[in-house]
Amino acid sequence: MNLSIVISLFNEQESLSELISWIHSALKGKVESYEILLIDDGSNDGSWSTIQSLAKEDSTIHGIRFRRNYGKSAALYCGFKTAKGDIVVTMDADLQDDPNEIPEMIRMINKDGYDLVSGWKKIRHDNKLTKNLPSKLYNATARRVTGIKLHDMNCGLKAYKNEVIKNIEVYGEMHRFIPYLAKEAGFCNIGEKVVHHRKRKYGKSKFGINRFVNGFLDLLSIWFLQRFGRKPMHLFGLMGSATFLIGIIIALWLIIKKLVLQARGEWFRAVTDQPLFYLALLAVIIGTLLFLTGFIGELISRNSNERNKYNIKDNF
């Protein structure tokens, strides 16, 4: 199998027939063999009936149906697990992604050696206030945090080597950060291609402005997990030790200062009358709690089934 196309969908009944015809037209004579995996994420508009009807007439179509709506990450996870193609392409079912971009993305992987090629909707046909501006801000932040120079990390149209999608786990809302997951798994040759973006033809967008707020929170979560997931003590232990020492130093300074003034017969203020002393005690307590948090995190990490999971590139 040369190619697997994984399409996550939710209430996209109107666009499915047109999408499948468009894919076949775009790949005719350019891809030797391919499969189309339609992942129905709990649709309630008859999308599954349409998928079944299309599959009866088209052997390239395979369907997976969720009992309820789990989200795009869950759909991609199941699609990746099922995909058999040497190259796997993801795209949305709303007809905004152009299947004619797929052959060039395949060439970039086969000829240019990319592990992953991400689409870049350079010219978007979305609402500028609610979609374009938040998207630019989000992508600028993502580039800064992840170190991956992609203009549109959340673009649904992407192509991957099969080994990439088999070595990453997409969960929660982490479909937005698949390039970062790939990078952390050791697949660092990530390319970008400007792709054509069309206006939505049917229905309405399933994502609101809240996805950008959630996206920033997810970005911080995945950055933390990838950087400190296996070594929590490196973060919490360092912060805890520093906070503890600051508290101890301040408390000792107050006590020594009081003793010196007392020995000289000068007026002094009781240590327990000074607000700074209680702040020092608070720092000691917080530092201890942070250190213990790191210690507990280390215990959990050492007992995790993933502690010795590594991606081996070559072996002989």
Three-state SS sequence of 92-151: ECCCCECHHHHHHHHHHHHCCCCCEEEEECCCCCCCHHHHHHHHHHHHHHHHHHHCCCCC
Those residues whose C-beta lies under 8 Å from the C-beta of residue 256, and which sit 6 or more positions away, are none
Given a cut of 60, is residue 18 above it in pLDDT? yes
pLDDT value, residue 212: 62
Given a cut of 60, is residue 171 above it in pLDDT? yes
Contact 274, 254 (CB under 8 A): yes
How many Å apart are CA 267 and CA 98, to the nearest integer?
81
pLDDT value, residue 127: 58
Residue with the two structure tokens 């919490």: 236
How many Å apart are CA 165 and CA 161, to the nearest integer?
7
* 20-69: pLDDT as tens digits: 999 999 999 899 899 999 999 999 988 999 999 999 999 999 999 999 99
Sign of CA pseudo-dihedral 59, 23, 90, 87: positive
Residue with the two structure tokens 């060039």: 104
pLDDT value, residue 316: 59
Share of the chain above pLDDT 90, in %: 53
Higher pLDDT, 190 or 302: 190
The pTM assigned to this predicted structure is 0.74
Given a cut of 60, is residue 129 above it in pLDDT? no
